[in-house]
Structure 1
Amino acid sequence: MCRYWQRSLLKLLSCSVACVPLFVGHFVNAGQYISPQPLVINQVQTTAVMVEDGLANDDVRQAYFTPIAKKQALVCSLPALKKCIALLPLSLQHQTSFSVANIRRAIGRKSAMVLVAESDSIAGVIIINPAKDMLEQSGAIGLTTYQLPLTNQTKLTLWHEIGHLYNISLQGSVLPYSLTEYQHEWLADLYLLWCVAQQYQQLDLVWQQFHRRNLALINDSGNLSHWSAPQLQIVLSHYDVQQLQHFSRYEDFLTAVYPLMPAWSPRDMGEFSSLVQRTFSSVQSLPEYMFWRQPELIQVLTPTLKQLMGKTKSQQWLKKQFSTAK
């Protein structure tokens, strides 16, 4: 679950890449104003320039800046963390939460995390841990363990993390001032979805993320905090890839889809968690358990169960587990 540290004008979200072509750029001083640039894919060109502080050519893709609305984010590969953090302004380098030692402790076994800074020009720092790049997502249903192969997951992870920063920049305008940690997570995956639509002619990678989130939930109900499958499904059911590509600005896409999203309360989330635990635990099934929540869960899980089990077997399994399954 993401945790937010709100001290010394800093917030930390740790979670588990920009859909614009990524580029390396010279550091922009904290007091320097970056002119507003709407995020339009076909207007951003890849720029390769020298990186400061002695970074070798081989390190270029391990330390670079990428645009986030009116600001920039520094993207660091964990092996080059020390040299990468040196590209930040001293005012940020001197903050405890941006120290190399603290970042290494915070990232732990995560594949990525993002540090969010209050700065005139720097939106935050994204840390990518290539050693933890996921090649598959697994989950057990009954006595069978299923694996979902993952492709381009590093790119998807980066887009997700950039989504965190981009959505924070929209709070108080397109988005509400206050968002829950769960909302931050599914909104980051909506940014990922938009990026896939802008970069590709099909949405296979979005479906991969959808199935990955479902399978992670099946494997551990604690992953409910990152369960963006319901929100991804809503967008996928309303738009095809051509329609999504018409949203050349992320802000316009978010303005259109945000009102479609469910506003679940903590109690609602608790009920989903309880139903998931009961359904996928080793205890005897109770088909009537939380029957009022079953239709929503069935609707979201069905595409993933079909992908893993096949249509016939998945239908049989659903009918056995849920009294409301048809």
Structure 2
Amino acid sequence: MEDLAEQLATSFSVTKSDNTTAASHPRLAQYKSKEDRSGLQEERRRSRLQNQKQKRLDFANYARRLAENDWEEEEPDDSEEMDTLEERKHKNYYANQLMLSEWLVDVPSDFEQEWLMVFCPTGKRNLVVASKGRTAAYTKSGYCIKRFHSNLPGGNRSSSRTISQYTILDCVYDEVSKTYYILDVMCWGGHPVYDCDTEFRFYWLQCKIQENTEVTKVSKLNPIKFEALPYYVCEKTNLQEVLANPMPFQTKLDGLLFYHKKTHYTLGSTPLVGWLKAWMVPEIINIPVPESIMASKPPGAKFRPPSQSMDTSSTVKIADTKREEQQDVAIMEKKEIS
């Protein structure tokens, strides 16, 4: 049933996001990119960092509503028409609540100074909400696929003595090990950190897990364990070293996530979080990786240089334009002769 819900949730997703990970990497030879976007990703990063400084949202109230599923007093957006009562009744407020990555197309100029890397295990991406004595897991599209008890603040009756005890996490679930690997934290114990930068969120998460080690162990009140994924600075020598070491989890590696240190937790796709398969690292970041990682490279996968990321349709358009120019010149010459 969980697999069916996940398939339904993903099969109807439509996105026009730049460098979306739902498609192949724009520089793969077998993938036709619509245009040469080399350099544009860097511009969008700067724009996003600037825009987030101007946003002032009530994250405390937002996190409370998400935790308690209380949207009755939600104020409508002035830019949109007010939803009818029936529409709001069936609206899925748990959809699109995760921060999603883009393909890392060009390496940021401040990559070694301002970026952090996290190994991402293979599994199902879930929004985990612990509140009112229970814990629920939702797919990216907002479908609730699991309810259980946990030792997260608010996750079981003994840990939710007050209504303010709730936790919201961004996780990857591995079915084999029955483990939620925590990628990021949005709220812990009623304290939202959406508008805190990545460096603080990651550090705070590690501290909270160390203070609440019972969440990392299987028990009657915590049947599924939680583990916070470690993070690493993106100095190339450091990345080369950690890639050569064993993974921080037993499950299979899915890929690498790169977070800008200053980005807030942003809902939806953002260029401030990059994504690469591990075998892409030598080509994109220009550092070697072990042969065991390169063995996961699909047969025939080959990258184009950024300047060649233009697709065939663009080349045809240029050829048509030149042909039209040549025809115009020929017509003008014929008129002059006559």
- TM-score scaled to structure 1, two decimals? 0.30
Bigger fraction of residues in strand: 2
- TM-score scaled to structure 2, two decimals? 0.29
Higher relative contact order structure (alpha carbons within 8 Å, sequence separation ≥ 6): 2
Q: For the pair shown, which has the larger CA radius of gyration, 1 or 2? A: 2
Bigger fraction of residues in helix: 1
